[in-house]
Amino acid sequence: MRRFLILWRRELQLCFLTPVGYFQTAVFLFLSGSLLAWKLMAGAFDLSSIPAILFSSVFFWLVVLATCSMLTMRLVAEERTAGTWDLLMTAPIHEGQIVAAKFMGALTVFVVMSLPILAVPFFLRACGVTAGEIDGGPLAGAALILFWVGAFFIAVGTLLSCLTRSQAIAGIGALTVNGVLFFWGAFPIRSAVFAEGGPALVMDPAHYVQAFASGFIDSRPLIVLALGGLLVLFFAVQAIQWQRFRTFSETLNLGMALVLALGLMSLGVILAHRHYRLADWTRSHRYSLSEKTLRILKNMTERVEVTFVCRPHYTVYGDLRRLLMQYGDHGPTLHLEWVDPDRDPGRVEELLAQDAAVRSEAVVFKSPTQVRTVVLDDLLQSVSEEGGAFHPRAPTGLAAEETFTAALLAVTEPVKPVVYFLMGHGEVALDDYHPERGYSTLARLLRSDHLELKPLLLGELAQIPPDAAALVIGGPTHRLARNALTAIAEYLNRSGRLLLLTDSGVVTGLESLLEDWGVRMNHDRVISKPLLAGVGDALAGARGVGVTRELELTRLGDHPITGPLQGMLITLYQPRTLTPLGGVGTDAAGAVDKPRITVLASAGEESWAETDFQQTPPNFDPETDRRGPAPVAVAIERGPAGWVAMGLQPTRLVVIGDSHFAANGRVGGGNQDLARSSLHWLLQRDFILGPSPRLGGSLPRVLEGRQRTLVLVALVVGFPGCALLWGVLVGWFRRRV
């Protein structure tokens, strides 16, 4: 160990006490910096995606490849030609120590060289680039895979340097071997070992390198690269020892050792692929399945076969495959199968015979009773129509998870619950695309949750249909008809489920009904002071309004609906307040007939309930107005608690003092989860509660004029220039001293 350290230090000295190492660093930084600068100029980005932007470039990896080859080609070959190799080989050092020291020396230099390029996000932030935040996860993932791949390159380079006296051959050899391994992607064993059915190797570097740099960590490439690197280094040691003999029998020994090592490595690779770990290192858990999907997977009891029929060249092959693998990791009853239609047309025929529409790329979900096919072209099509939610940075693909989860629900849930939307009193319509007053988006989302939605016009019919799993009254603008009111009251009394979204300033006629259920709907609207007082004041100066009608819900109640939504941004539009009568909270379990009321969300202290609808701008009047906090959403339950009594079903109501929050223009983010979760709780679909899949992170930005110049100068001239200058100083200093 001590000798290893001595040799290692010597390697570092060679690089850093002579100008050569700095010049190499300068070249590396210049090439990769220019590339990054060019990419950053070209489009929008945010700070957390910089590693992924850089790592997605083939050119960058060519630079890494060339740098590693340059660092390793001299390692042994140079000492051989200079004869100093004999100095090492006659000192009491094991060949393994020499190889390890040479390898570590080059690796250390490489790490030091590439640190500046990984520090670019910090530099940009210091320059005032405000696009998003730096995310340590992707950065760490990028560093990890860069050093890991670099280590493998360097191991191969070290071996080649051991095999020849010529630095040029060692360098070109390393470039070629590494290049072939890296750019041809998958090792040949991929098809040889796992031809049929087995776990295919995920060794396509273009794929995993990108994933690591986006914060998605996979143990398999790490282990394969590590085993491969160790094998290569082992071979290097053997080769050095062999060079003393150069006899036939020794060559035979070497060959046998190599075959043995190769066998052990293959075993390791297979084990690594059987037992692997995936990790999501992003701060926003961008690549993790949503809680909702996880819950659905966990509660699944039926066996579901998921068949991914896709050519590996398909645009989002890797992303979707990774996504499905996560499904597999969390769904014990899920069985994944990968089918390449070109290689396995027979399997495709089989699937077609089972009613799966696999004429093109598709994912088939098959339970014992049902089959559902997601055609990937359609998926991408729908995504691009909706403004590109299928973000290239989000390997899971927001829409993909939604769609897959919906398909899972569809094949596992025997009946599709029917939800009626009351119409005829100015309620928001399901097929209305209006951004402020339309529920078409919500309707699509709910349908993907495996619900059937029907509008309900009561008219003469004075009864809620018996197949109604729930009733939604979304933002009526006039008073409800008498027969409707009776029907609703009657419906609730026979364990009905009601989602009531009622806006401020409207008299619906449901007031007295609700009071029977323990909640008073107040005739007011919540006005709040913006949380950021400074910004608010500035706005106030400009517009003459010191208040905002958007209410950010920060106080969410402890309830199955809102519990999982803590911390999410939910905004209501000047909601009305609700007052629970006779105390809030759950009463003793014995009082079956008394409604249990839970506050789902309240307006905060900074807001008040304004009773004067005419006042502009609204102003807090202590006599008439009430200060926050005030409840704006409540859940009501009467009867046996959910799962306890099987025969008796409880009545459930969710009342929210605003209907706009679920409209097309606002239903993104946490709003849709509030709406969806409320409905799922009403339907006792506990397995589907929780936030839906979403894309975390912030809006990408484009660099502004001064920043552009700064970034360009720093990356192309500054970083490499520093290294160059340092090298010149070192050279000058050496000459002096």
Q: What minimum distance in Å lies between the beta carbon of 31 and other proteins?
A: 27
CB nearer to other proteins: pick between 11 and 503: 11
Name the pairing type of β-strands 468-474 and 304-309. Answer: unpaired
CB nearer to other proteins: pick between 14 and 357: 14
Under DSSP, the state recorded for 50 is H
Among the candidate windows 83-91, 110-118, 231-239, 498-506, which touches other proteins by CB under 8 A? Answer: 83-91
Q: What is the C-alpha separation between 716 and 39, in angstroms, rounded?
A: 12
CB nearer to other proteins: pick between 16 and 681: 16
CB nearer to other proteins: pick between 298 and 734: 734
CB nearer to other proteins: pick between 78 and 291: 78
641-652 core/surface letters (b: 16 or more CB in 10 A; e: else): eeeeeeeeebbb
CB 698 within 8 A of CB 614: no
Q: What minimum distance in Å lies between the beta carbon of 13 and other proteins?
A: 8
CB nearer to other proteins: pick between 19 and 116: 19
| H or E, element range at 261 | helix 248-274
Among the candidate windows 191-199, 241-249, 278-286, 345-353, which touches other proteins by CB under 8 A? Answer: 241-249
| Given 58, 84, 388, 454, the residue binding other proteins (CB under 8 A) | 84
CB nearer to other proteins: pick between 20 and 545: 20
Cα–Cα distances in angstroms (integers) from residue 442 to residues 322, 402, 677, in the given order: 28, 13, 12
Q: What is the C-alpha separation between 104 and 372, in angstroms, rounded?
A: 53
| Given 1, 83, 590, 736, the residue binding other proteins (CB under 8 A) | 83
Instruction: Give the pair of three-digit tokens for residue 411.
Output: 């094949």
Contact pattern from residue 90 through residue 119 relative to other proteins, giving x for each residue in contact according to CB under 8 A and a dash for the rest? xxxxx-------------------------
| Given 89, 186, 325, 722, the residue binding other proteins (CB under 8 A) | 89
CB nearer to other proteins: pick between 91 and 267: 91
Residue 18 touching other proteins (CB under 8 A): yes
Q: Within 13 Å and on the Cβ side, how many CA atoms surround 432?
A: 20
Residue 247 touching other proteins (CB under 8 A): yes
Q: What is the C-alpha separation between 272 and 224, in angstroms, rounded?
A: 7
Residue 6 touching other proteins (CB under 8 A): yes
Residue 729 touching other proteins (CB under 8 A): no
Under DSSP, the state recorded for 687 is G
* Residue 120 phi, psi (nearest 5): -55, -45
Under DSSP, the state recorded for 715 is I
3-state secondary structure of 699: coil
Among the candidate windows 5-13, 67-75, 349-357, 668-676, which touches other proteins by CB under 8 A? Answer: 5-13
Residue 82 touching other proteins (CB under 8 A): yes
Q: Round the CA-based radius of gyration of the chain to a whole number and report it.
A: 32
CB 631 within 8 A of CB 599: yes
Which string of DSSP letters, residue by residue, matches 84-116? THHHHHTSS--HHHHHHHHHHHHHHHHHHHHHH
CB nearer to other proteins: pick between 2 and 313: 2
Positions 458 through 477 that interact with other proteins (CB under 8 A): none
| Given 42, 44, 58, 86, the residue binding other proteins (CB under 8 A) | 86
Cα 629 to chain centroid, rounded: 35
CB nearer to other proteins: pick between 88 and 655: 88
Q: What minimum distance in Å lies between the beta carbon of 159 and other proteins?
A: 21
Under DSSP, the state recorded for 662 is G
Q: What minimum distance in Å lies between the beta carbon of 341 and other proteins?
A: 57
3-state secondary structure of 579: strand
CB 622 within 8 A of CB 603: no
The alpha carbon dihedral of 383, 384, 385, 387 has a sign of positive
* Residue 555 phi, psi (nearest 5): -110, 100
Among the candidate windows 1-9, 485-493, 697-705, 712-720, which touches other proteins by CB under 8 A? Answer: 1-9
Per rule CB under 8 A, count of chain residues that contact other proteins:
24
Cα 603 to chain centroid, rounded: 31
Q: What is the C-alpha separation between 409 and 194, in angstroms, rounded?
A: 31
Contact pattern from residue 508 through residue 527 relative to other proteins, giving x for each residue in contact according to CB under 8 A and a dash for the rest? --------------------
| Given 44, 87, 252, 535, the residue binding other proteins (CB under 8 A) | 87
In 3D space, the residue among 332, 330, 333 whose CA is nearest the CA of residue 294 turns out to be: 330
CB nearer to other proteins: pick between 702 and 729: 729
Q: What minimum distance in Å lies between the beta carbon of 103 and other proteins?
A: 17
CB nearer to other proteins: pick between 130 and 251: 251
CB nearer to other proteins: pick between 89 and 375: 89
Residue labelled with tokens 């990769």: 32
Among the candidate windows 3-11, 194-202, 487-495, 605-613, which touches other proteins by CB under 8 A? Answer: 3-11
Name the pairing type of β-strands 334-339 and 525-528. Answer: unpaired
Instruction: Give the pair of three-digit tokens for residue 733.
Output: 């200093």
Q: What minimum distance in Å lies between the beta carbon of 726 and other proteins?
A: 18
Q: What is the C-alpha separation between 602 and 578, in angstroms, rounded?
A: 9
Residue 10 touching other proteins (CB under 8 A): yes
Q: What minimum distance in Å lies between the beta carbon of 6 and other proteins?
A: 5
| Given 183, 198, 244, 515, the residue binding other proteins (CB under 8 A) | 244
Interface contacts to other proteins, rule CB under 8 A = 2-3, 6-7, 10, 14, 17-18, 82-94, 244-245, 247
